[in-house]
């Protein structure tokens, strides 16, 4: 099934690209990830999602961003104003958009000192 067929079958408003076995999709104004056949990968819904990278995806909910695992659950407790995708085991995060302060975290959310 191609992405246009997935979009039509599941009535998605938007379909992104395939990354690590998941497609970013939007339905009823909410974002989540779907399997290649179009079925939702988990039940949670977010304000937006990015593609999976190194097994985790950046999502935004309630004005904060964080990483989720493939089951849709948060990968760690902390939430940030801005979060980047993982690359080579690290992700850049910004706790407060008003500050020009960033740091890196590991997949478990621990801070790199």
Average pLDDT estimate for 3-17? 94
In the predicted structure, residue 1 carries a pLDDT above the cut 80: no
Contact predicate 77/84, CB 8 Å: no
In the predicted structure, residue 11 carries a pLDDT above the cut 90: yes
This prediction's pTM: 0.94
Average pLDDT estimate for 89-110? 95
Contact predicate 38/32, CB 8 Å: no
In the predicted structure, residue 55 carries a pLDDT above the cut 80: yes
What is the pLDDT at residue 2?
Answer: 85
In the predicted structure, residue 64 carries a pLDDT above the cut 80: yes
Domain segments of the chain as ranges: 3-105
Q: Which burial class, exposed, middle or buried, applies to 94 when counting CB atoms under 10 A from its CB (0-12, 13-18, 19+)?
A: middle
């Amino acid at each position: 099934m191609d992405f246009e067929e997935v979009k039509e079958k599941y009535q998605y408003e938007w379909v992104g690209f395939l990354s690590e076995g998941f497609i970013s999709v939007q339905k009823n104004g909410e974002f989540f990830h779907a399997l290649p056949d179009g079925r939702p990968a988990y039940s949670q819904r977010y304000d937006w999602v990015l593609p999976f990278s190194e097994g985790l995806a950046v999502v935004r909910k309630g004005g904060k961003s964080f990483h989720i695992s493939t089951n849709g659950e948060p990968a760690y407790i902390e939430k940030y104003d801005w979060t980047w995708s993982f690359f080579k085991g690290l992700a850049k995060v910004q706790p407060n958009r008003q500050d020009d302060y960033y740091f890196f975290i590991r997949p478990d959310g621990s801070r790199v000192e």
